[in-house]
Amino acid sequence: MGVLVACRPENTHKGKTAVRQADLNVLYCCTEETRVSLSDAYGKCQVVYMEESHDSRAKLDEYFSGGPDRFYFTEARSHSICCLQGSYRPWKVPELKH
């Protein structure tokens, strides 16, 4: 299946220190696409783009109250800035066509 790469804060150049500074549910969306086997999928999660604004926290709280395994991102970055090589877990993007 085709996926876009997304990284957790600890998988960026900031390393383990980013875990103490970032929201546990934030992802860094990268512009790199890759292919993964369906057998490598761990299950479903929801990922949304969240625009930063004065009421972002309230919107996030409402989103998270909708169920488990929910993540968000606020920007997309090039892969070289986003993730350390080999340290990312891809997430499925259904509209990606290959």
How far is Cα 78 from Cα 88, in angstroms, rounded to an integer? 13
Q: Tens digits of per-residue pLDDT, 73-85?
A: 887 776 655 665 5
Query: 98: which residues sit within 8 A by CB, 6+ positions away?
Result: 2, 35
The alpha carbon dihedral of 84, 86, 92, 95 has a sign of positive
Candidates 11, 12, 4, 10; CA nearest to 36 is 4
Q: Tens digits of per-residue pLDDT, 84-96?
A: 554 444 444 444 4
- List the chain domain ranges: 2-92
The mean of the pLDDT values for the chain is: 76
Query: pTM of the prediction?
Result: 0.67
How far is Cα 24 from Cα 63, in angstroms, rounded to an integer? 14
- Indicate the SS3 state at residue 33: strand
Domain 2-92 has CATH 3.40.50.2300: no
